[in-house]
Amino acid sequence: MDEFPEGAEVIPFTSFREDELIVDLVQQLDLAEKPPASLCIDATGFMRPQLLFLMRYLADQGLTRFDMLYSEPSQYSRKSETQFARSSAFEIRQVSGYEGSHSTDLSNDILLIGVGYDHDRIGQILASKESAKLVQLHAFPSLSSDMYHESLLRLNRIDGTLPRIAEDQVFFASANDPFVTAAVISDEIRKLNARRRITNLYLSPLATKAQTIGFGLYYLRERSRLPTSVIFPFSETYNRQTSSGVGRIWKYPIDLSN
């Protein structure tokens, strides 16, 4: 309570599940019943599953156009040693609103991971989908010149070698552009599917919030009725103040009307 901002409306929440939290928030703000003329959301402080479900829920409520802000960190506080989750994942599951109806045919499942700093959680996602072929999306250009190399250092710490490599195993999208991220994922998945039909697709955004928005855009526009899910390693606690300083601030006009 002592850390609540002064002079601002604060809405408390009683659940940590992304769907329950966001539905309660939207209802308390009366956004669905009284749609605002314009809506701007600062995505910087959201957890990734909350951010994804918010996009889905707003679109389902008819609020298909809104802006999102994202503030880049100047640097992560412990460089390549930065850890965002304080504990291992207690649950790996589909993000609410991004649960696909999956095929029983597992012969060509693809797991696409947005590579970030938490190598432990990347390893846990890999272990949860052992039969899937791995495709990596790296944040490059990164938010700063050293962040891409720092994430590679963390990736190399995963126990054993990275398994199940697809033919087009690694591709890149800007760390701060969700629209490029969505377009790159769309193009690369289309190529993989043309080569051999993908039986099930699993998406796991573990990099920047901007890339997470891009994963959401891709799913909602192209994969919501296909055997595709967004999966995430949920932890009970997270570290605070993992970054220092503020770099650039971005504004993303989101349109989910199509």
Per-domain boundaries in the chain:
1-258
- pLDDT, tens digit, 9 for 90 and up, residues 225-234: 999 999 999 8
Of the two residues 202 and 239, the one the predictor is more confident about is: 202
Between CA 49 and CA 230 the distance in angstroms is 9
3-state DSSP assignment of residue 163: coil
CA angle (136, 52, 197) in 5-degree steps: 45
Q: Write out the H or E segment, with its range, that includes residue 111.
A: strand 110-115
Does pLDDT of 251 surpass 90? Answer: yes
Structure tokens at 204: 């796991």
Which phi and psi (to 5°) does residue 7 adopt? Answer: 75, 20
Residue 74 CB neighbour total at 10 angstroms: 13
Cα separation values, 61 from 31, 46, 99, 192, 234, Å: 9, 20, 18, 33, 26
Predicted TM-score (pTM) of the model is 0.85
8 Å CB contact between 125 and 111: yes
Quickly list H helices, the chain.
18-29, 48-60, 119-128, 147-155, 178-195, 209-218
- pLDDT, tens digit, 9 for 90 and up, residues 48-102: 999 999 999 999 999 999 999 998 876 655 444 455 555 565 789 999 999 999 9
Closest to 76 measured CA to CA, from 137, 151, 157, 138: 151
Orientation of helix 119-128 relative to helix 147-155, angle to 10°: 50
Which of the residue ranges 27-36, 40-49, 205-214 would you say has the lowest mean pLDDT? 27-36
Which of the residue ranges 5-19, 24-38, 206-220 would you say has the lowest mean pLDDT? 5-19
Closest to 208 measured CA to CA, from 255, 158, 248: 248
Between CA 100 and CA 79 the distance in angstroms is 36
pLDDT of residue 152: 53
Of the two residues 246 and 164, the one the predictor is more confident about is: 246
The pLDDT confidence band at residue 241, using thresholds 50, 70 and 90, is: low
Q: How many C-alpha atoms does 45 have within 13 Å on its Cβ side?
A: 4
